Amino acid sequence: MTQRSILVGTNQTIIIKGGGSVTVKGHEGDRLSAETAGTGGLTVERRSEAEIGRARAAVGEHVIFDVRIKLPNLKEKVSDDVIEVQISGSGEVRVPFGSNLKVYAGKDIEVQGIRGQVDAFAGLNLDLQDVHRLGNVSAGGTMNIDCQKMIGKDVTFGAGRDLRFHVADLTSARLRVKDIGGYWEARIGEGEKSVTLKSGGDVTFVTDQKVEPLPPNYILGKIEKPTGA
């Protein structure tokens, strides 16, 4: 097992790239720790905020993604540097609760307990739980989102299989859904934001708000209440 740790800020921007599956958990404190049970390698580096990294993940000979990374444009003041974690296989990373994350993995991504923003791109399944601010995300497999709020007023999220979507503060939005069962539209509140959900499986929209079906068909898909609501 390979392990690395580094002292980071309380609202640090952290880029994590994994060729396999990646688990990220928030914790009290000001240190980042990473570990992998594989033998392929693990690096943790501090970089200038002006630098742009390259994320590349592959399964066998098939490249899942190969993109340039630009840092998130956050309103809050963030640290002047960026922490970059690279795991050639699968691994786990523990970060301070207030971190802002960009996570890329060739297989699964699981993120828990983050008070900053999370952007995540998974070759297979994506699971975000107890995340404060949802950024840009996508998944080749299933997607399970449980966040407090999201960035943007016109957003699209896509998953190759089932998609479960819950943003607690989403109280005024026009919802467009395209899943295995077809297409439907609905409105929450005044419909100030636009949210499009695309799935190769079923979409489950989770909200404690009233959902109004829209023309032409006035059809609603699968809608559930949050746990404990």
Q: How confident is the prediction along the chain (229 residues), in pLDDT tens digits per residue? A: 899 999 998 889 999 999 999 999 999 999 999 999 877 689 999 987 665 455 555 444 445 555 444 444 444 444 468 999 999 999 999 999 999 999 999 999 999 999 999 999 999 999 999 999 999 999 999 999 999 999 999 999 999 999 999 999 999 999 999 999 999 999 999 999 999 999 999 999 999 999 999 998 899 999 999 987 6
**Gap between the Cα atoms of 69 and 55, Å rounded:** 7
pTM: 0.86
**Gap between the Cα atoms of 169 and 185, Å rounded:** 19
Residues 15 and 87 in one domain: yes
Residues 142 and 162 in one domain: no
Residues 214 and 182 in one domain: yes
Q: Give CA 8 to chain center in angstroms.
A: 21
Residues 141 and 62 in one domain: yes
Instruction: Give the pLDDT score at 60.
Output: 41
When divided into structural domains, the chain yields a total of: 2
Residues 81 and 112 in one domain: yes
Going from the C-alpha of 49 to that of each of 52, 80, 93, 224, the distances in angstroms are 8, 6, 21, 41
User: Which residues form the domain of 73?
Assistant: 1-150
Instruction: Give the pLDDT score at 47.
Output: 85
State in Å, rounded, how far the first CA of the chain is from the last one: 42
Residues 81 and 109 in one domain: yes
Nearest Cα neighbor of 22 from 55, 67, 71, 62 is 55
Instruction: Give the pLDDT score at 92.
Output: 97
**Gap between the Cα atoms of 72 and 78, Å rounded:** 10
Residues 111 and 157 in one domain: no
Residues 163 and 141 in one domain: no
Residues 142 and 179 in one domain: no
CB atoms within 10 A of CB 6: 16
Long-range contacts of 36-40 (CB under 8 A, 24+ apart): 36/1, 36/2, 36/87, 36/88, 36/89, 36/90, 36/91, 36/92, 37/1, 37/90, 37/91, 38/2, 38/87, 38/88, 38/89, 38/90, 38/91, 39/89, 40/87, 40/88, 40/89
Residues 77 and 156 in one domain: no
Pick from 120, 150, 180: which residue ends a domain?
150
Pick from 100, 120, 150: which residue ends a domain?
150
Instruction: Give the pLDDT score at 81.
Output: 86
Residues 167 and 134 in one domain: no
Pick from 134, 150, 166: which residue ends a domain?
150
Residues 25 and 132 in one domain: yes
Instruction: Give the pLDDT score at 175.
Output: 98
